[in-house]
Structure 1
Amino acid sequence: MTDPLSGMLTALNITDTGARTNEDIFTGPSEWTPLGRVFGGQVLAQAIVAADRTVDDSRMVHSTHGYFLRPGDVRLPITFSVERIHDGRSFSTRRTQAYQNGLPILSIIASFQNEDEGLDHQADMPTGIPEPETLRSADDIVAQIDHPLARGWAHRRPFDIRYVTSPVFFEADPAHVAHQAVWIKSLGPLPDDPTLHRAALAYASDYTILESVLRRHGATWASPSLKMASLDHAMWWHRPARADEWLLYVQESPSASGGRGLSLGRMFSRDGTLVASVAQEGMIRFSPAGVSAAS
């Protein structure tokens, strides 16, 4: 297996098949994961790259809204079908469907815009956050655990993730708060391609976004009765940013009900600039015994 960063870059370097009917067709590989399911952030980032390949170079993705429809299989390549929905004077809209075995596993709509002037304000970055260099890497924390999932977390992710508070991999948060913050950046330098950096941020945005739901209920990734899967994902890129520089990813969950949990996230550059916002709802289920233990 290649190193994680090279693996991500290979996955995002999708292939144009040259097929042109009503849609543009691309293909991309799947990265290995311990459970054999395609990582949602990977296929989301690939779908964004596919859509970008059909848009004028002067336009950058500024928002995407999508649904995870089926689990993907890492043993199979992924086909991306891009529909050119609209090209206006300032905006372009694309629909991308990701397929395996002829069935859709992801569907997104993405919007692209020319650089423009306008009103400008942003939410403030939280204060009192420790610097990332003072925090332990999540990979180091789980590397000592002899378990396939732990080894996958420790050695196969292309991003360095550092929790401001203790992670909820195996130990619950006794405070039962519905929020957390992590520092993230790629393990090494990335090419100077703004689209690649935005796609990489989408890739990383799927790692920890639902953990604020788990924290609120004293649950962990290792809770034996937990069943969790991403359902939908929305992201807005507000300002330029590099995925190979430290970004503070602040997350909170305003609600969980009906076997679903909603989490919201904000990404800030180190100087306090708000660069992106994220929203994701996930399926989060426990067995009856697990609910009473985790709540």
Structure 2
Amino acid sequence: MSALLALLDVHGDGTTWVGPASGPEGKRAFGGQFMGQSLAAAARTVAPQKQPTSMHLQFLRGGEAGDAVDYAVTDVFDGRTAAARRVDATQAGRLLTTATVSFAAPMAGPEHGRRDVMPGDPEALPRTGPAGPAPSMPLDEIDIRLDDDRSTGEFVRRLWWRVTVPVPDDALLHTVIAAYVCDVYMIDPALAVHGHSMVARTHRSGTTDSSIWFHRRVHADRWNLLETRSPAAARGRGVITGSLIGSDGVITATLAQEGLIAEREQPAAD
């Protein structure tokens, strides 16, 4: 099994699940690990015909990348066509994240959400990786290409990605992978608007909460475009909104994230 698929393969007894460590030891765990593993744990307790429709996760404390994570899943609701779960992630008894995940069986209804023209060709871009160091991500298995755009005066981040290892034809697994990948440096555009970056460490930065609404099936082994922008920032926090778009122009998910982008305190003069 690939490193990515092994990382997202949680094991448990029906209410408590364990997510593998991402490594390396001594580093802070990547937030996408909690997104992907929390979603995987919640889905293990729901009938397969009910697919994820939304996920909302709060980051309360940083985690250790070198340690496994325990996930406690609570049944919130089980109906004929819908279900809801709460997922609490802990390490050594310390609560790190808490999430709510909604599931529903598909139903017929009006549909919209498609790009007629995609902005650019990922194959024409260099393989850049994420917008900063990502020591716990198996980047040899995820092709990431950035194409930031300021042509309209607004900063728009276009992050193309696809998984380069074989992925089983399992719609849930592809959705879990998307939840994992789409967290990578997503708060960075709130700093980029002002000419800064998370990698420069000029500001205290990190995700405080993240939300995803899943509309359609994701194909993680094909090109996906995560297009994000920051509509507002104040009081040391910024908000990012985005769309996940498949290579066929169909919008597969809508995302929103809030993060800390506070100025670092300057050391007192002697």
Deviations 1:38-95 (A, max 9, x none): 1110111101010001001111011011101110112221111000111112100000
Q: Which amino acid aligns with 1:120?
A: E
Q: Give 1:70's match in structure 2, choosing from 53, 58, 61.
A: 61
- Between 29-38 and 174-183, report the one with greater CA deviation: 174-183
Gapped runs of 5+ residues in structure 1?
A: 143-148, 167-172, 290-295
CA distance 1:255–1:76, shift in 2 (3 Å): same
Match of 1:161 among 129, 141, 144: 144
Number of residue pairs aligned between Structure 1 and Structure 2: 266
Cα pair distance change 1:126/1:152, threshold 3 Å: farther
Q: Is the 8 A contact 2:73 2:88 kept in 1?
A: yes
Distance change (3 Å), C-alpha of 1:163 and 1:197: same
Contact 1:174 1:218 in 2 (8 A): no
1:286, distance to aligned residue in structure 2 (A): 2.0
Counterpart in the other structure of 1:115: 106
Question: SS at 2:32's partner residue?
Answer: helix
- 2-structure distance, mates of 1:266, 1:151: 22
Q: Which residue matches 1:136? A: 126
SS of 1:197's equivalent in the other structure is helix
Distance 1:96 1:214 in 2: 30
Paired residue for 2:216?
A: 239
Distance 1:174 1:125, change over 3 A: closer
Change (3 A) 1:185 1:175: same
Partner residue in 1 for 2:42: 51
Given the alignment of the two structures, is residue 7 of structure 1 paired with residue 29 of structure 2, yes or no?
no
1:25 aligns with 2:16: yes
Please list, as runs of the form range in 1=range in 2, the aligned pairs for 1:135-214 lying within 5 A after superposition.
135-139=125-129, 150=133, 152=135, 156=139, 158-165=141-148, 177-214=154-191
SS in 1 for 2:198: coil
Greater Cα shift, 154-163 or 111-120: 154-163
Q: Give the C-alpha shift of residue 179 in structure 1.
A: 1.9
Give yes or no for contact 1:97–1:108 (8 Å, CA) kept in 2: yes
Residue-by-residue CA offset, 1:201-232 (whole Å, 9 max, x unaligned)? 00011013212212210002332422211100
Distance 1:35 1:273, change over 3 A: farther
| AA matched with 2:209 | D
CA 1:160–1:136 in 2, change beyond 3 Å: closer, same or farther? same
Q: Matches of 1:268 and 1:96 in 2, distance apart? A: 27
TM-score normalised by the chain length of structure 2: 0.90
**Cα distance in 1, alignment partners of residues 122 and 170 from structure 2:** 25
Cα distance in 1 for partners of 2:42, 2:134 equals: 33
Stretch of structure 1 that moved more, 184-193 or 36-45: 184-193
CA distance in 2, matches of 1:221, 1:68: 17
Verify the 8 A CA contact 1:178 1:216 in the aligned structure 2.
yes
Which structure carries more helix by proportion? 1
Q: Do the aligned residues in 2 keep the contact of 1:34 with 1:152 (CA within 8 Å)? A: no
* TM-fit CA distance, 1:241: 1.8
Mapped pair 1:84 → 2:75: yes
Task: Report if aligned partners of 2:133, 2:199 keep a CA contact under 8 Å in 1.
Answer: no
Change in 2 beyond 3 A, CA 1:227/1:157: farther
Q: Is the CA contact 1:129–1:164 (under 8 Å) kept in the aligned structure 2?
A: no
Measured in 1, the distance between the counterparts of 2:6 and 2:82 equals 29
Could you say what secondary structure the match of 2:135 adopts? helix
In the alignment, the residues of structure 2 paired with residue 283 and residue 240 of structure 1 have an alpha-carbon distance, to the nearest angstrom, of 31
CA distance in 1, matches of 2:136, 2:75: 37
2: CA distance, partners of 1:154 / 1:25: 25
Distance 2:25 2:153 in 1: 29
Q: Residues of 2 paired with 1:47 and 1:195: CA distance?
A: 13
Q: Is the 8 A contact 1:178 1:254 kept in 2?
A: no
